[in-house]
Chain A
Amino acid sequence: MADSDGRQVDGVNHATDKDVKLQEIALAKNEGKELTKEEKQRLRKEKKQHKKNKKDDKGPPEKEKEKEKASVPAPSKPATQSPAHKAAPAPVHASESAAAAEKPAKSKAELRAERRARQDSERTSKQGKKEGGQQSASSKPKATPNELQPVVKRLPEHVQVDDPAALKKLAKKLERQQKSGQGCGLNKTGVEVPLRSDYGYKVSLFSHLHQYSRKSPPTLQISIPATVIHPSIVRLGLQYSQGIIAGSNARSVALLHTFKQVIQDYSTPPNEELSRDLVNKLSPYISFLSQCRPLSASMGNAIKYIKKEISNIPSQCKEEEAKGKLQACIDSYINEKIILASEAISKYAIEKISDGDVILVYGCSSLVNHILCKAFEKQRKFRVIVVDSRPRLEGREALRRLVKKGIRCTYVLISALSYILPEVSKVFLGAHALLANGYVMSRVGTSQIALVAKAYNVPVLVCCETYKFCERVQTDSFVSNELDDPDDLIVTRNGKSHLENWQTVKSLGLLNLVYDVTPPDFVDLVITDLGMIPCTSVPVVLRVKNVDQ
């Protein structure tokens, strides 16, 4: 295609800039869609030219190095140029050529990628020189994962794993964060905020999501001692990625406690304000944690709250006082939104449990377990059926907790659901998040339970604290989900594991989904700390909450 050729040529030889610009303007006139892209490119080029002229001596040797790298993988994968910012025009053009092949789907992502790339390049050029060693971290083709951006309008990068242009954003961002932690030092050995690579063959419908292996934790690449990332964050990340801390309440509480530790150990550098610097310090930690395991909606809300509190610290506040205040804020958040909320929810839920009830629960939700224990203490006569599913088998933990209390329980696997449902009088489900259109996002298998319960006319009650309500809208489980380690699905029975060599079979993919989405028609009642509401009233609660804040 004439476009891509022209641009690649341009990337190699900046002397013909003006000609190419004219070319591009002509092209843009033919393709109205790309007019803004052209303008931005032009602006960016001009700026780079300007900066280049200032730092001319270091320019040429770098360029040659990158040209070499660019030429080698160019024929097969033009999209994956090294993301060094000096060669930014080249990869941008190259990625554009890849995008040109899939223009309609990728044009928006491209625009954003370019805007980001431009901002990144401006920022990094201000901070200092980029070293060659950094390229080793991020030059992995195709499999580099993405960053979760907490901006509502843009498509989050963690669902753009198959978009090469979006991959560069993450690489650049992580390098930038690494940079900010080091100052002007060189990083030769390890990467501080590592990029985790995807593992195994991904089912095509979910190729836009990450799939990590538990055997390669992100901490392998971190140097010791970690200078950018606080050690308790490293520990937390490891706990997340290995599944030691699981469940959205547990993860949020652990996160908040770790942040308390971080704030405790934090000291404001000279000439910096706590309110601004601390937020910047937290960003690489959050990127690291989302590399270990994608953030949940509840964690996202907690982080938003902390960032808001930090930036609201008045500048004349002394450091010790500010730190104390922040720690108190975090404590009160945990107390209000999680502990007291679960008390309130139990109070409402107990009204709905009558004597002689047979209650069905799925998996292990800390909130539902709490409700059942409280109801049992209040002398309600009921029995529980715990439904469980592979590979996590979380129901066993719930079963253990309930039996310890003395509640009569039955344990079945999810395949026996339609057999057991005629006996059931109510279904209690926990939620990972409640979306703005009333859909319930929860552990995979929940929507199946809700569907079958509806078919048997059994009321389905979802229990969820308000801090898990999120502004996102989703109607299916594909768009935004999490893929767990596919090796978990391998079963060893009688010493034989049939799926052991699944990677060798080209047409075989193992899919280990973590979440699914339940439509509001299947849910009869949502119990929150504000009261009992129908599933369709979630946006009202969100509105009321925003007004309060």
Chain B
Amino acid sequence: SSQRDPDVASAVAAIRSLLEFLRRDQSETILGLRENMTQAIRRLEETDSSVAVSSGGELFLRFISLTSLEHPDLSQCKNVMIERGELFLKKISLSRGKVGKLCHTFIKDGAKILTHSSSRVVLKVLENAAADNKRFTVYVTESQPDSAGKRMAQKLRKLNIPVMVVLDAAVGYIMEKVDLVIVGAEGVVESGGVINKIGTYQMAVCSKAHNKPFYVVAESFKFVRLYPLNQQDVPDRFKYTADILKTVKDLNQEHPMIDYTPPSLITLLFTDLGVLTPSAVSDELIKLYL
């Protein structure tokens, strides 16, 4: 479904389908319901192995399963769950707008922005900033192997924002020219670091070396209960796409699609919960999950 509607985040699509699944579920007990839901999430992860789907699924499960504690009766429980699920879905569809509104004030007139690959949230932020009559230029990295950066450049041109596509290898070269770096995220981990398209870590290290602010924009449903210590510690099921995981035997020969940026390199995170420092992410996660 995410291929059909390119404007919708894959996590949102996943949650929508989970909600549909919930509606059609035939199980008799709450435990059975939970079992089916976890199975469904696993199936979804098999088809689209991104971090966002995993986090979105888990959050959805948490959000609705708390109702099972309040309403012991199954049918009533199910109705409440569906209601809450729809509320959750509505909330997260609005989250991108919230983030956009928060972040665009950090873009000053005449700014030069560097971004990586194609992110819908970053697009929304830049859209809001342009609507605010700010003048700025954007540099986008090509982001191989899928050339997502070129797609981002096209979208930006449609908004009449001056944009330049640079090579992934040219990040160090271009860093002295830019004023700030804004990237999206596929997942925000417990330490306050982010998991994003491969090449983000490089960009973060460069911006730290040049003392440029490195901002991450992400919706709150991307917060995930992972705590990687380094690049090796990120689970394989996120690093590679689902097809590769199924077909290829020796993953060491494959190029990973994502990398991990530690919190020490990130200046601020813009989420629909507000503007957070990396250490505050853990606080938010504790509030969400505990």
CA distance A544 to B264 in the complex (A): 25
Collect the chain A residues with CB atoms within 8 Å of residue B264's CB: 521
CA distance A533 to B192 in the complex (A): 10
Which of B192, B232, B263, B279 lies at the interface centre, i.e. has the most chain A CB atoms within 10 A of its CB? B279
Interface residues of A in 405-441 (CB under 8 A from B): 426
Interface pick from B9-17, B96-104, B203-211, B282-290: B282-290
- Chain A contacts to B: CB under 8 angstroms: 352, 354, 426, 457, 459, 461, 521, 524-525, 530-534, 536-537, 540-541, 544
Contact present for A533 and B229 (CB under 8 Å) = no
Collect the chain B residues with CB atoms within 8 Å of residue A531's CB: 290
Q: A525-B191, A530-B290, A532-B190 are in contact. Are A537 and B282 (CB under 8 A)?
A: yes
Q: How many residues belonging to B are interface residues under a CB distance threshold of 8 Å?
A: 15
Contact present for A459 and B229 (CB under 8 Å) = yes
Contact present for B290 and A536 (CB under 8 Å) = no
Collect the chain A residues with CB atoms within 8 Å of residue B230's CB: 457, 459
**Nearest 4 A/B pairs, CB to CB:** A536-B279, A459-B229, A537-B282, A532-B227
Shortest C-beta distance, A74 to chain B (Å), equals 56
Given contacts A352-B229, A524-B191, A533-B282, 15 further A-B contacts (CB under 8 A): A354-B232, A426-B229, A459-B229, A461-B229, A525-B191, A525-B227, A530-B286, A530-B290, A533-B286, A534-B279, A536-B279, A536-B282, A537-B279, A541-B286, A544-B286
CA distance A542 to B264 in the complex (A): 24
CA distance A541 to B283 in the complex (A): 9
- Chain B contacts to A: CB under 8 angstroms: 190-192, 227, 229-230, 232-233, 263-264, 279, 282-283, 286, 290
Collect the chain A residues with CB atoms within 8 Å of residue B232's CB: 354
Contact present for A534 and B229 (CB under 8 Å) = no
CA distance A521 to B191 in the complex (A): 12
Contact present for B282 and A524 (CB under 8 Å) = no
Closest to B190 in A: A532
CA distance A536 to B281 in the complex (A): 10
Collect the chain B residues with CB atoms within 8 Å of residue A525's CB: 191, 227, 229
Closest to B284 in A: A540
Contact present for A544 and B227 (CB under 8 Å) = no
Shortest C-beta distance, B282 to chain A (Å), equals 4
Collect the chain A residues with CB atoms within 8 Å of residue B263's CB: 534
CA distance A534 to B190 in the complex (A): 8
Contact present for A540 and B227 (CB under 8 Å) = no
Q: A525-B191, A532-B190 are in contact. Are A537 and B229 (CB under 8 A)?
A: no
B286 contact from A457, A521, A537, Cβ within 8 A:
A537
Contact present for A534 and B192 (CB under 8 Å) = yes
CA distance A541 to B190 in the complex (A): 14
Q: A530-B290, A532-B190 are in contact. Are A540 and B282 (CB under 8 A)?
A: yes
Closest to A352 in B: B229
Shortest C-beta distance, B159 to chain A (Å), equals 37
Collect the chain B residues with CB atoms within 8 Å of residue A540's CB: 282-283, 286
Shortest C-beta distance, A416 to chain B (Å), equals 24
CA distance A91 to B31 in the complex (A): 73
Shortest C-beta distance, A60 to chain B (Å), equals 65
Collect the chain A residues with CB atoms within 8 Å of residue B190's CB: 532-534
Collect the chain A residues with CB atoms within 8 Å of residue B192's CB: 534
